[in-house]
Amino acid sequence: MRYRHLEKAVFLERKNRFVAEVELNGSPVAVHVPNTGRCRELFVPGAAAYVQRSENTARKYPYTLCAVEKGGMLVHIDSAGANRLAEEALQSGALRGLEDISAVEREKTFSKSRFDFRFQKGKQTCFMEVKGVTLEENGVAMFPDAPTERGARHLAELIKAKEEGYGAYALFVVQMKGPRLFRPHVERDPAFARNLVLAAKAGVIVMAYDTDVTVDEIRLSSEIPVLLQEEEDLKANVNH
């Protein structure tokens, strides 16, 4: 997935969930933030940032914040980008165990949730939920960076889909290159972490892939290990 017309800027501050201010060509400029997560580890004053100017002249904020540098890593922050990468991977057969699938469709409803993808694997209908990961600490990628009731509900619905005979997948797209493994961020959201463990036990396939990120391109790269803790360990971790 390529980006055009990216310009380097300096991150100044986040105004709200959707707007940040950067210094671009020596002047402060308000830019759209395509990620509603906290991203506190990324949005640090003085960090190098990369913005893209929209070709839509009617936009309130002509620029969108696409990536931020953190400790030598370039981190892609566009949440929608994770879904686009997942769609490309599904279409091209780049995901382990999903090399030969068909009828890939986006935004399909099951029960009380809308999953990111529905597709056919042989005669089996499958659902997939995708989460973009921008949080990294000491070489470990984690999700979420803020509590997400919606995310926990999606996992519960994936379990239900699996119990009803559908294929069920949770894909975590780590939007950077460097983390050696992925785990749920139990300290930030124990409910999500617990549901992810339960989902894996129920047969939901949990996968994490890192990405190669450059100034003008992001590409899905390699699968990385997923570390899931037992429920007893989750409780101990939270109470520690």
| Ordered domains of the chain (ranges, CATH) | 6-76 (2.40.50.580), 79-239 (3.40.1350.60)
CA 231 remoteness from chain centre: 24
Instruction: Supply 14's token pair.
Output: 């986040």
CA distance 77 to 44: 14
- In the chain, which ranges are E strands? 6-14, 19-24, 27-32, 48-53, 63-70, 73-76, 102-110, 113-121, 124-133, 135-137, 140-143, 167-174, 181-184, 205-213, 218-223
Q: Phi and psi (nearest 5°) for 219?
A: -135, 140
CA distance 143 to 131: 8
CA distance 178 to 159: 30
Side-chain-side CA neighbours of residue 192 (13 Å)? 21
CA distance 25 to 149: 40
Strand order in the sheet with 140-143: 135-137, 140-143, 181-184
- Encode pLDDT of 126-179 as tens digits: 999 999 999 999 999 999 998 999 999 999 999 999 999 999 999 999 999 999
Q: Give the global pTM.
A: 0.92
pLDDT > 70: what percent of the chain? 95
Instruction: Supply 81's token pair.
Output: 């980008």
Q: What is the pLDDT along the chain (240 residues), one digit of tens a residue?
A: 777 778 999 999 999 999 999 999 999 999 999 998 899 999 999 999 999 998 887 889 999 999 999 988 999 999 889 999 999 999 999 999 999 999 999 999 998 889 999 999 999 999 999 999 999 999 999 999 989 999 999 999 999 999 999 999 999 999 999 999 999 999 999 999 999 999 999 999 999 999 999 888 899 999 999 999 765 454 445 444
CA distance 149 to 61: 29
CA distance 210 to 6: 22
- Nearest alpha carbon to residue 158 among 104, 202, 209: 202
Residue matched to tokens 């380097």: 8
Cα dihedral sign for 90, 152, 190, 143? Answer: positive
CA distance 131 to 144: 9
